[in-house]
Amino acid sequence: MSDAVRSVSVFSLTLPRDVPYLGAARLGEEPNARGYLVRKGNRTVYPTFDRSVLVKVVTRDGVVGWGETYGLVAPGAVGAIINDLLADFTVGRDPTQPSDIYDDLYDLMRVRGYSGGFYVDALAAIDIALWDIAGQIAGSPIAELLGGSTETRIPAYVSGLPKPTRAERAALAAEWAERGFSAFKFATPVADDGPAAELQSLRETLGKEARIAADMHWNQSADEAVRLIKEMEPHGLWFAEAPVRTEDIAALAQVCSESSVPIAVGEEWRTDWDMRHRVERCRIGIVQPEMGHKGITNFMRIGRLAAQHEIDVIPHATIGSGIFLAASLHASAALPTLKYHEFQHSIFEPNRRLLEGGMNCAEGFYSLPIENGLGVRPSDEALRLMQPI
């Protein structure tokens, strides 16, 4: 071992948004004192701002790696897990073996049932930072360490149309179509006139060639989901995402078998075990790993499992500074059944100033950072905004 981890530090990074994710708060969705609101359409809490947890790992030779995970609510939970437990078990380890470290840290709490949630989010952030270091030590971008190439142009679909009316959401999609994007996704919890009417408006605006998917936000029974999907189908549905509650594998199996459009799931999964349990029973069309929950180690395990089952991969992209998005692009470039990657323009565009290093999404494609490791790091502005946890 030529180098070893010297320190692990944790920060939260909070960024204001002009409009909350999924659009302005509706009647009955007023934010509380912490700035959290609950969407009536999916009963899920969202902050009115963007926030994530960043991890900085430094080696004895002075190599710095950055990782990121979710911090939408309770970022201190992830910070406490790292500060009280994971940091000490990472210090002294060989940073060129991130997957071994991931598995050892995961094993520490297995028998107590910590196989998901904030615990595995904390692992994901450390894992990304270690891969960043491993790439820098190897003199290689992470994509190449994983067998991919930074020259890969990854097709991007436009996600999130945070406008108050159906007509305005369609108009916003049309703006992105003019900018060279041909694939889109809308969220059914904020489709006020119903998913079929929403899809019809988007179809009429974007034309018959556009790919249009629906994110159903886990909010239906199996029968309801099947009915809504059938209502959308005549308007040309690309895929239906998260149709039923994540715990209900039987319901997912039913929707997969009774729907003729591909069913997409997996953003909330943490490990490949979450996929193994479902793929045995459900005819899943698309898996959507989210880097901020899985880290590169488990993202790749899920991606490779998808390839074994001939399932397409279309990774999720969420609310953060862009560090876990960069990691997601590197890993995606190495996946054999990758088809698209989600593009959250309302997060990516305003927050891109927070990262140094080349990463872009334009004219329908992502381009990867090309420097060694992740190829991105927090800008001076981001470093000023970061709060130690």
Applying CB under 5 A, which residues contact Mg ion?
Answer: 215
The least distance separating Mg ion from the CB of residue 73, rounded to whole angstroms, comes to 17
Nearest to 249 by CA among 220, 221, 278, 223: 278
- Tokens 């009915």 map to which residue? 227
H-run or E-run covering 222: helix 222-232
The least distance separating Mg ion from the CB of residue 25, rounded to whole angstroms, comes to 19
Q: Which is nearer to Mg ion, 8 or 252 (CB)?
A: 252
The least distance separating Mg ion from the CB of residue 269, rounded to whole angstroms, comes to 12
Give the C-alpha separation, 237 to 225, whole Å.
14
Nearest to 325 by CA among 183, 154, 79: 154
Structure tokens of 379?
Answer: 């800008």
> What residue number has its CB nearest to Mg ion?
215
Q: Which is nearer to Mg ion, 159 or 200 (CB)?
A: 159
The least distance separating Mg ion from the CB of residue 94, rounded to whole angstroms, comes to 36
Give the C-alpha separation, 259 to 333, whole Å.
30
Give the C-alpha separation, 314 to 270, whole Å.
16
- The Cβ of residue 15 has, within 10 Å, a number of other Cβ atoms equal to 17
* Strand 154-159 with 365-367, pairing: antiparallel
Q: Which is nearer to Mg ion, 142 or 161 (CB)?
A: 161
CA distances from 73 to 26, 48, 126, 214, 276 (A): 20, 11, 19, 25, 28
Q: Which is nearer to Mg ion, 215 or 274 (CB)?
A: 215
Residue by residue, DSSP assigns 273-310 as HHHHHHHTT----EE--BHHHHHHHHHHHHHHHHHHTT
Nearest to 183 by CA among 213, 154, 203: 213
The least distance separating Mg ion from the CB of residue 185, rounded to whole angstroms, comes to 8
Q: Which is nearer to Mg ion, 21 or 118 (CB)?
A: 21
| Contact status, residue 282 vs residue 253, Cβ threshold 8 Å | yes
- Tokens 């000023």 map to which residue? 384
